[in-house]
Amino acid sequence: MDNFGADPTVSMDSAAALQKAIDLGAKTVFLPGSYRLTQTVILRGAVCRIIGLGGWLDYNSKASPDLRIEDAKSPIAIEHFASINGGMEMA
C-alpha cells in the first residue's frame, strides 16, 4: 500500500490511499500495519481480498463503517486484522 500513500503507523489518514488501490483494480490489497481511516472505504470492482498482519483498521474509530461492500464482482475475503473498529456493512 505504500505505493498509494497509505501510512501503516496510524499517523496519517489512509482512507484515500486504500480507496485508490481498490478503484485502480487491485484484486488483493495487503495492509501490513495499522491504519487510520477517517471515511468509509468502499470495496467494489475487482478487489477480492484484503489482507492484514494482525493490525487495526480505523485505529481511532473515526469512520463508521470502516468498510462497505458495494457492487463487488466476486466474494471478498478480509483476513488477519486484530480489529476493524468501525465495522463493516453490505450495501
Q: What is the pLDDT of residue 23?
A: 95
pTM: 0.89
Confidence of residue 16 (pLDDT cuts 50, 70, 90): very high
Helices (H) and strands (E) in the chain, counts: 1, 10
Give the residue-averaged pLDDT of 35-44: 94
Share of the chain above pLDDT 90, in %: 65
Share of the chain above pLDDT 70, in %: 97
Among candidates 28, 31, 68, which has minimal Cα distance to 48?
28
Q: What is the pLDDT of residue 2?
A: 61
Give the residue-averaged pLDDT of 15-36: 93
Number of C-alpha atoms within 13 angstroms, CB side, residue 85?
15
Confidence of residue 3 (pLDDT cuts 50, 70, 90): confident
Partners of residue 35 on adjacent β-strands: 57
